[in-house]
Structure formats: structure tokens, C-alpha cells
């Protein structure tokens, strides 16, 4: 049987590891936003000629550089997009800021449960973008590099969701552990 102190240390170590991962990802959002372009579904992006269309028409490769077209230029015949409140770049920056805030919140025991719940929800919401990117990668304009990258990225969401969800459980305190004996 493990002690409450070792359970708490393990939970804190897991939270610190999640925080480090989130910090690295947040940094990547700002240093190489092209890496995330395909993961932001087009239906979330404003129809800005310089933002959503430029990113959607140029696509990106595994290293974030410009690649072959993945969606082509948008036409005025597009149906209305009620969730298109930000440009693709703004979505990428906003998700980077959310990851940065979560990296801090997951370290603080008082905010860990709320942050972990929000992270699990955020990673679950990101599934839509990963599915859309995978669909485009296997479409007529997808490249082998995009297929490989998105085939790997999508299933990685499941362990991230489960890991975030596991951080919701509080570490047992010595008082409650003593009562359970």
C-alpha cells in the first residue's frame, strides 16, 4: 500500500510533466504556428483573404513550411460559418495562450482539478481539428508527410485526455488516508 505522501508526490510529478508538455506546446504555437494550421478546422476560421484563405490554400507540411494546397481558395458560395469568429492565426495564438495558462494552473493544487477538467475538455475539442486534418491529408491534395503526421497526431489525443482527466483526482491527504485505514 502506498503512502499518502508518495501518492501526492506522484500526482505532483505528473502535473509537473503535464505542465512541461503544455509549455513546450505553447511555445511551439508562437515559434512555428504553421505546424498547427491544418489542425484548425476551416469552419472555425473567418473568411479573411489574408488569414483563413492564405493558410488554407497554402497548407503546411510536417515541419510547418508551405506545402501543396489542402483546401483551395474559398469561394463566396461557402455556407455561413457561425463559429468563424477568429482567423486561423488567432485560433492558433488563442490555443497557445490557453495551454500557457493551463501549464501554470495545473501546477497549483487549488486550481488543479478545474484546470485538469478544462484540459480534458480542450483536448477533446481538439479532436475535431485532428479528424479534419486527417481527412484533408488523405484527400486529393494531401501529401504522404501530412498523412503520416496526422495519422500519428490523432491517436495521441486519447492519452492526453486520459492524463488530464487523471489529474482531476486530488492526492489523498494524511487525514483522509488515516480515516480509511
From the list 2, 18, 14, 13, the residue with the least C-alpha distance to 104 is 18
Q: What is the pLDDT of residue 20?
A: 98
The answer to the question of residue 73 being in a domain is: no
57 in any annotated domain: no
Residue 49 lies in a domain: no
Name the pLDDT band for 174 (thresholds 50, 70, 90): very low
Q: What is the mean pLDDT of the chain?
A: 81
Distances in Å between the Cα of 81 and the Cα atoms of 3, 42, 59, 139 are: 53, 9, 20, 22
pLDDT at 42: 87
**pLDDT score of 13:** 95
Four-residue CA torsion sign, 86, 89, 95, 101 = negative
58 pLDDT higher than 50: no
Return the pLDDT at 50: 43
Q: Distance between CA atoms of 40 and 45, rounded to whole angstroms?
A: 8
Does pLDDT of 54 surpass 80? Answer: no
pLDDT score of 82 more than 80: no
Encode pLDDT of 12-52 as tens digits. Answer: 999 999 999 999 999 999 999 999 999 998 888 887 654 43
Task: For residue 158, give its domain range.
Answer: 4-40+88-180
How many distinct structural domains can be found in the chain?
1
Amino acid at each position: 500500500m502506498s503512502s499518502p505522501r508518495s501518492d501526492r508526490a506522484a500526482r505532483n510529478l505528473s502535473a509537473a510533466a503535464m505542465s512541461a508538455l503544455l509549455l513546450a506546446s505553447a511555445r511551439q504555437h508562437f515559434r512555428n504556428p504553421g505546424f498547427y494550421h491544418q489542425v484548425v478546422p476551416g469552419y472555425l476560421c473567418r473568411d479573411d483573404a489574408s488569414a483563413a484563405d492564405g493558410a488554407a490554400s497554402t497548407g503546411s507540411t510536417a515541419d510547418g513550411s508551405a506545402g501543396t494546397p489542402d483546401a483551395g481558395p474559398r469561394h463566396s458560395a461557402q455556407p455561413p460559418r457561425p463559429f468563424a469568429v477568429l482567423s486561423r492565426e488567432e485560433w492558433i495564438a488563442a490555443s497557445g495562450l490557453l495551454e500557457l495558462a493551463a501549464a501554470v494552473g495545473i501546477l497549483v493544487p487549488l486550481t488543479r482539478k478545474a484546470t485538469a477538467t478544462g484540459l480534458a475538455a480542450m483536448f477533446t475539442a481538439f479532436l475535431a481539428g485532428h479528424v479534419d486534418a486527417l481527412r484533408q491529408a488523405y484527400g486529393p491534395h494531401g501529401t504522404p508527410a501530412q498523412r503520416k503526421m496526422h495519422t500519428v497526431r490523432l491517436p495521441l489525443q486519447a492519452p492526453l485526455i486520459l492524463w488530464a482527466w487523471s489529474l482531476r483526482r486530488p492526492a489523498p491527504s494524511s487525514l483522509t488516508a488515516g480515516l480509511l485505514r
